[in-house]
Each structure stands twice: as structure tokens, then as C-alpha cells.
């Protein structure tokens, strides 16, 4: 079920679009009058200092924060008009990767993933097992399927979080500081997974302030600063530097 898309015209090639949007955290305006277009299949970084609003954009796109002023579309859903009962349907088109993992501590890796599939109406046990094994293989975590979250390193937990995010084959991956607590080598390995997903035509949006990682994996950059967003252009030479 989707909302009426007639509120304002949006380009069909844009899978994410904000127009003259104000973004609030509670009563505080974090971002003012921002507009953003992301095409299907793009890889985009949201960069900026801690507290500038990168996470707030991710939460708005995920309908965790309501869009109180302005217009927005994500995967065909109108953020300004979306109803509470429609939010789960939006989120099935999104895979969200959190910095703080949010894994269920009382069950192993395999059961963390089966829990998500069953919660999204998967019924067949063989199909569930096949999908879980497929995504674990994609993130090189098959050998840890029976491990509890506390038995995993930070990088391994984040791999499981990525696996969880792609279980339902989402159109969009939203990653909020996915390498923020990880060492450089692990961060590179995880970013390669995001690049591989992008190569499979997933739209990927990564909020980060890890500039060395951006230089190693260059893509489109949106800078978030002083309640505004700016397109940032870096030359190929600078990217390789």
C-alpha cells in the first residue's frame, strides 16, 4: 500500500528525493530548506562533522523522523503523507545499517536473521534457510552462523548487520556511520561490501566522516553543514590521492 503520489511531481529516475525540506529532532530544526535528488543505482556519501544532521537525514528517509515541512519521496512512498500503517512497507524497500548494530543479544547470528524474515511474513522454512545462508555468504560470515553477538568482533557484528539489511533484497541501502567504531582494515572490507551491493544496482547512501575511506572508494558526495547540504566535487586526482 502506497500513498497518493500526486502531491508534487518527481522524476521517475530519482529513487530518493527531498524538496524544500526542514528536518527536526524533537522541536529542534537540524536542517533547513534542503533539497536532494538521488537516482536509482547511485552511490552517495553524506559527509560532515558529528552533529551536523547526517543521521537525521537517514532517519527521515527511513520514516523514523517525520517529514514535518517540505516534500519527499523514497522508493515511491511520499514521506510527507505516509501513514503509520504504511511505514513497514516502505522499510521493506530499505536496508538500514546502524553504527550500534542493534543485534538481538539473546540469539545467535542465524536466529537474528531468521527472526527478521519471519517478522516480514516469510513462512517456508527451507526458503528462510536458503535466504539466510545466501546473505551470510555475501558478507563472508557463514562460518559464524551459530555464534552469539557477544562472541563476534565489531567488524563481524557489522557484517551481520549488513546481512540483516539485505535479507529482503531492498532497493536502497542506508548506512549510518557503518565504520565509525572500526579499524581501517575492517572499514575497507565493509566498504567493499557496500560497493559490491551498488554494483548489483542497489542505491547506497552512506553517512560518514571517514575521509580516507571516501578517497579509497570515491563516489558522489553531499556535505552536511550549518543546517544545509552542498554538492561536493572532488577531482579524480584528489580522489586517488
pLDDT digits (tens, 9 = 90+) for 170-184: 999 999 999 888 899
Q: What is the mean pLDDT of the chain?
A: 89
pLDDT digits (tens, 9 = 90+) for 185-218: 999 999 999 999 999 999 999 999 888 999 999 9
At residue 10, the pLDDT reads 54
Q: Whole-model pTM?
A: 0.88
Cα 10-29-234 angle, rounded to 5 deg: 60
Segment 154-176 shows an average pLDDT of 94
Amino acid at each position: 500500500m502506497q500513498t497518493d503520489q500526486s502531491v508534487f511531481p518527481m522524476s521517475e529516475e530519482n529513487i530518493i528525493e527531498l524538496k524544500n525540506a526542514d528536518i527536526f529532532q524533537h522541536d529542534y530544526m537540524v536542517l533547513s530548506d534542503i533539497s536532494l535528488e538521488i537516482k536509482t543505482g547511485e552511490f552517495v556519501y553524506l559527509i560532515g562533522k558529528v552533529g551536523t544532521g547526517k543521521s537525521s537525514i537517514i532517519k527521515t528517509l527511513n520514516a523514523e523522523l517525520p517529514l514535518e515541512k517540505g516534500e519527499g519521496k523514497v522508493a515511491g512512498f511520499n514521506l510527507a503523507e505516509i501513514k503509520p500503517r504504511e511505514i513497514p512497507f516502505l522499510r521493506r524497500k530499505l536496508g538500514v545499517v546502524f553504527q550500534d548494530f542493534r543485534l538481538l543479544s539473546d540469539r545467535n547470528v542465524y536466529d537474528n536473521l531468521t527472526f527478521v524474515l519471519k517478522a516480514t511474513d516469510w513462512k517456508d522454512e527451507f526458503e528462510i534457510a536458503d535466504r539466510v545462508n545466501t546473505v551470510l555468504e555475501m558478507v563472508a560470515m557463514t562460518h559464524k552462523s551459530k555464534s552469539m553477538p557477544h562472541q563476534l568482533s565489531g567488524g563481524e557484528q557489522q557484517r551481520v548487520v549488513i546481512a540483516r539489511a539485505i535479507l529482503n533484497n531492498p532497493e536502497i541501502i542506508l548506512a549510518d556511520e557503518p565504520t565509525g567504531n572500526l579499524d581501517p582494515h575492517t572499514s575497507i572490507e565493509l566498504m567493499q561490501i557496500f560497493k559490491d551491493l551498488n554494483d548489483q544496482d542497489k542505491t547506497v547512501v552512506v553517512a560518514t566522516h571517514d575521509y580516507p575511506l571516501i578517497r579509497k572508494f570515491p563516489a558522489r558526495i553531499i556535505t552536511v553543514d550549518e543546517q544545509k547540504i552542498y554538492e561536493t566535487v572532488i577531482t579524480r586526482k584528489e580522489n586517488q590521492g
